[in-house]
Structure 1
Amino acid sequence: MNNSGAGSDYVGAVEVTKDKNGIGQVVLRNHRGASARVSLQGGQVLSWKWERGQELLFTSSKAIINPLKPLRGGIAICFPQFRSRGSLEHHGFARNKMWVIDQDPPPFPSGSSEKTYIDLLLKPSEDDLKIWPHSFELRLRVTLAEDGYLTMISRVRNVNSKPFSFSFAYHTYFSLSDISEVRVEGLETLDYLDNLYNQERFTEQGDALTFESEVDRVYVDCCSNVVAVLDHEKKRTIVIRKEGLPDVVVWNPWEKKSKTIVDLGDEEYKQMLCVDGAAIEKPITLKPGEEWTGLLDLSVVPST
């Protein structure tokens, strides 16, 4: 679970605790004061604080604490689908399931020296197989680096006897000062599917994405794999790097939609923005024995 790096001065800590519902949580800390908190329910990252103690992820004050439902906020794992389709629930079932700590994970693609991490594992239950009849192993490594960067690596392996396809997203709620003061860079000239217009395809015309009304888009085939969220008032920029995730979801419900969401405060849309690394437009197909890897790396830098 924890690797402090041989011969390194880096000291990280991994603590396994429980929330008030008795659900297991894992807290990662580094010696500079950065931390991350991960719930075994859904493998969901609930908190990410950098060394100044500031929370970088948004969680709604009206979030419903329910052992069977994901919390509104943090970083939720959307698998095996992102949109509502067929008998599968919206955003898939992985975010509602109890994961286990993976005590003997296979080697991960990136080295974990000088990092603190936890490995989680999800396998389908008999009920899952009734609604999505495919055997899989979904592994998640959450890493907090010495510099406070947060990295999530997901690996989906097909242990089925036939191919299957899936969609995936790291549904990430960022905490903001004010949505009207925020801009997103790295999406210029890209095509996007607009969920407010029946997934009609448009092309981004602006140099940066700013917000004056509801936004619900899937930007497709993001070549650079780097997106930045600039928060002018908080004087910080969150940099999103991704691998194996060609798409980016951008969502803010704005005023009218917020009032219809029971676990989101009426005015909380001003303090949040979802920017997700995802694979949605073209589902991933795995043959028996094949494995897919998707990486999300989040960093924060001071900005003027």
Structure 2
Amino acid sequence: MALPDAPLRLAGPADSEALATAFGAQLLSWRCRGRERLYLSPRADFSGTAIRGGVPVIFPQFAARGPGPRHGFARTRDWRVLPTDARIPRLAFALDDDDATRALWPHRFQAVLEAEAEPDRLHIGLSVRNRGDEAFEFTVALHTYLRVDDLAGARLHGLEDRPYLDSVAGGRACAAAGAPLRFDGELDRLYPQARAPLRLCDGAHVLRVEAHGFADAVVWNPGAALAAGLGDLGEGEQGRFVCVEAGCIAEPVRLAPGASWRGRQSLIVER
């Protein structure tokens, strides 16, 4: 797995370890119980463009749901590394508005991302504070790439009873599938109000995904044709990951002056 120079290291309990970069405040790797749990493309570009894999921070705009850059600017900005208590395995980053961000999104804000490790768990928290004099709205997500050994055999449980919007079909509203989600070809679904814990089953491995403060879930895999055409991914790489994203997308978050919002996604190894 290719990594940027001098990634930040988060040493967790037992043998767990996470790696991150201040560019985009992005988690790149999480090893737990001797297995890599996040996917990072071997063609990931660390030269200043969006990094393919890990946990990109999508803010203040998800996809094209707004007039700004697709998926916002947070994932392509340098965040400040914040001091943390050395007794707690945690990394923290902050992003403040400046002239460049206000040219894209004319609001004063501070965003803070924290990653904390516990036994068999990785918590990723994101908060946003309105530092201006006017209310603003944003959409947001943690675009989490989860590694799998066998995409064809993987199943995602927990969304069986949830209707969804199918982005591959132009955002068409679809009824609940009534069965665990399988991966066969390109898939891009937004599940509004998906609050139940999700379980990604990949052979003998089970990863539980919990979200707090995030109302929605997005599940994405590019499929073979799209993956082959992505320069920072490549042919066959779609078989090594599934994106399970915690987000607030269907209804934007609205913050009054001085108000704050916080969301957290937890990755929990069950086996």
Give 1:230's match in structure 2, choosing from 201, 205, 210: 201
Kept in 1, the 8 Å contact 2:12–2:18? The answer is no
Kept in 2, the 8 Å contact 1:37–1:46? The answer is yes
Whole-angstrom distance in 2 between the partners of 1:113 and 1:221: 36
RMSD between aligned residues: 1.7
1:86: Cα distance to partner?
Answer: 4.8
1:61: Cα distance to partner?
Answer: 1.4
CA offsets, 1:120-167, max 9 Å, x none?
11001201101100000101111011x131001111000111000000
Kept in 1, the 8 Å contact 2:195–2:211? The answer is no
Could you tell me which residue of structure 2 aligns to residue 179 of structure 1?
151
Give 2:16's match in structure 1, choosing from 13, 20, 34: 34
Find the residue that maps to 1:137 and give its secondary structure. Answer: strand
- The amino acid that maps onto 2:33 is E
Runs (5+) with no aligned partner, structure 1: 1-17, 105-111
Whole-angstrom distance in 2 between the partners of 1:31 and 1:257: 38
CA offsets, 1:44-83, max 9 Å, x none?
000000032x1111111121221x2121100010000111
Whole-angstrom distance in 2 between the partners of 1:206 and 1:86: 32
Matches within 5 A, 1:7-156: 19-20=4-5, 25-52=7-34, 54-66=35-47, 68-103=48-83, 115-145=88-118, 147-156=119-128
Give 2:134's match in structure 1, choosing from 148, 151, 162: 162
- The amino acid that maps onto 1:40 is A
Aligned structure 1 segments of 4 or more residues deviating by more than 2 angstroms: 112-115
Whole-angstrom distance in 1 between the partners of 2:104 and 2:116: 32
1:30: Cα distance to partner?
Answer: 2.6
CA offsets, 1:161-218, max 9 Å, x none?
1000000100011111121010000001211111011111112223201112210010
CA offsets, 1:247-274, max 9 Å, x none?
1110111111112211112101111110
Kept in 1, the 8 Å contact 2:163–2:177? The answer is no
Could you tell me which residue of structure 1 aligns to residue 214 of structure 2?
245
Q: TM-score, normalised by structure 2?
A: 0.95
84-93 or 30-39, which moves further after superposition?
A: 84-93
Kept in 1, the 8 Å contact 2:141–2:247? The answer is yes
Give 1:268's match in structure 2, choosing from 237, 240, 247: 237
Whole-angstrom distance in 2 between the partners of 1:113 and 1:184: 36
Percent identity over paired residues: 30
Could you tell me which residue of structure 2 aligns to residue 280 of structure 1?
249
Could you tell me which residue of structure 2 aligns to residue 4 of structure 1?
none
Q: TM-score, normalised by structure 1?
A: 0.85
- The amino acid that maps onto 2:25 is G
Whole-angstrom distance in 1 between the partners of 2:158 and 2:86: 30
Could you tell me which residue of structure 2 aligns to residue 206 of structure 1?
178
Whole-angstrom distance in 2 between the partners of 1:128 and 1:27: 28
Kept in 2, the 8 Å contact 1:57–1:174? The answer is yes
Structure of higher CA gyration radius: 1
- The amino acid that maps onto 2:20 is V
User: 1:300 aligned to 2:269?
Assistant: yes
1:113: Cα distance to partner?
Answer: 11
Kept in 2, the 8 Å contact 1:37–1:47? The answer is yes
**Number of residues paired by the alignment?**
269
CA offsets, 1:267-302, max 9 Å, x none?
011111101011100000000011001011111121
Find the residue that maps to 2:83 and give its secondary structure. Answer: coil
Kept in 2, the 8 Å contact 1:80–1:92? The answer is yes
CA offsets, 1:15-66, max 9 Å, x none?
xxx943xxx63201134110001110000000000032x1111111121221
Kept in 2, the 8 Å contact 1:79–1:169? The answer is yes
